Amino acid sequence: MLKSPLHPRLGDLVAALLDDVLNQGMPLDRAYSRRFSGLSLKPFEQARVALVTGDLLRRLNLYCALAGIQVRQAGKMGWPLLLAWHAFHRIAMPNHRSLDRFKEETFRFRLQDAKKSPALMDGCPTWLDKLGTDQLGDAWPRERAALSEMPRRFVRVNTLKGDKAALLAQFKKEGVEAIEVEGVDTALEITSDAALFKTKAFKDGLFEQQDAGSQKVAAALAVEPGMRVIDACAGAGGKTLHIAAAMQGKGRLIAMDVEQWKLDNLKERARRAGAHNVETRLIEDSKTIKRLKESADRVLLDVPCSGLGVLKRNPDTKWKDTAERLAPLVALQAEILESYSRMVKVGGILVYATCSILPMENRAQIDAFLAKNDRFRLIEDESISPAETGFDGFYLARLERIA
Active site residues: 355
CA–CA separation, 130 and 120 (whole Å): 13
Q: Are 289 and 342 in contact (CB under 8 A)?
A: yes
Distances (CA, A) of 333 to 216, 281, 321: 20, 20, 18
Q: Are 237 and 270 in contact (CB under 8 A)?
A: yes
Count the Cβ atoms, other than its own, within 10 Å of residue 207. Answer: 28
Q: Are 262 and 235 in contact (CB under 8 A)?
A: yes
Distances (CA, A) of 63 to 19, 35, 56, 95: 15, 23, 7, 19
CA–CA separation, 254 and 276 (whole Å): 11
DSSP 150: P
List alpha helices for 204-321, DSSP H: 212-219, 238-246, 260-273, 286-290
Q: Give the pairing type, strands 187-190 and 178-180.
A: antiparallel
Q: Are 94 and 86 in contact (CB under 8 A)?
A: yes
